Amino acid sequence: MKNKILVAFFFLSSAACFSQTEITWWDLSRINYTEKYFPSYGEYFLYPEFSERMKSLEGKKVSITGFFLDIDPSGKLFILSKNPMASCFFCGMGGPETAMEIQFKSKPGFKTDDILHVTGILKLNADDVQHFNYILTDCVAQKMK
């Protein structure tokens, strides 16, 4: 009996080591911005100050659910949004924390506004204004019903 309990404990604890952390759009909204001048652009941009929770998750596998947006005609930039395309960040319905860049290993076969559950490695981006503040790399996604 003692051996069965030890084996069960081992499997449960090892499964936790390989699981990802579920994050929410509320987690992503816990961010502050200050204006910062970027000399290479000659302009001020909003510079993110990430929450301690998000800093602790950088480089780790996380999952989040949102709306898939395929807005790049070249098929190289994909976005996961808190809102569907008609009310997304680009349409003035929220700030940059309501969308994140998602990078797949291979081109995904999803359509705009498909609801996805995406898992990937979290990268926090404060300095490259060509990319989103939140980026998920090595993404795998499952379409939700």
Segment 97-134, tens digit of pLDDT: 899 999 998 888 899 999 999 999 999 999 999 999 99
pLDDT of residue 37: 95
Long-range contacts of 51-57 (CB under 8 A, 24+ apart): 51/27, 53/27, 54/23, 54/27, 54/28, 54/30, 54/122, 54/124, 54/134, 55/124, 57/21, 57/23, 57/122
Contact yes or no for 69/51 (Cβ under 8 A): no
Q: Is the pLDDT of residue 11 over 70?
A: no
In 3D space, the residue among 66, 47, 54 whose CA is nearest the CA of residue 27 turns out to be: 54
What the chain holds in terms of domains, given with CATH numbers, is 22-143 (2.40.50.140)
The percent of residues above 70 in pLDDT, for the chain, comes to: 83
* Structure-token match 């503040």, residue found: 133
Q: How far is CA 10 from CA 15, 34, 141, in A?
A: 8, 46, 29
Contact yes or no for 48/126 (Cβ under 8 A): yes
pLDDT of residue 16: 44
- List the structure tokens of 108: 């995904």
pLDDT of residue 6: 38
Mean pLDDT of the chain: 85
pLDDT of residue 7: 38
* pTM: predicted TM-score of the whole model, two decimal places: 0.82
Q: Which residue has the higher pLDDT, 79 or 72?
A: 79
Contact yes or no for 25/64 (Cβ under 8 A): yes
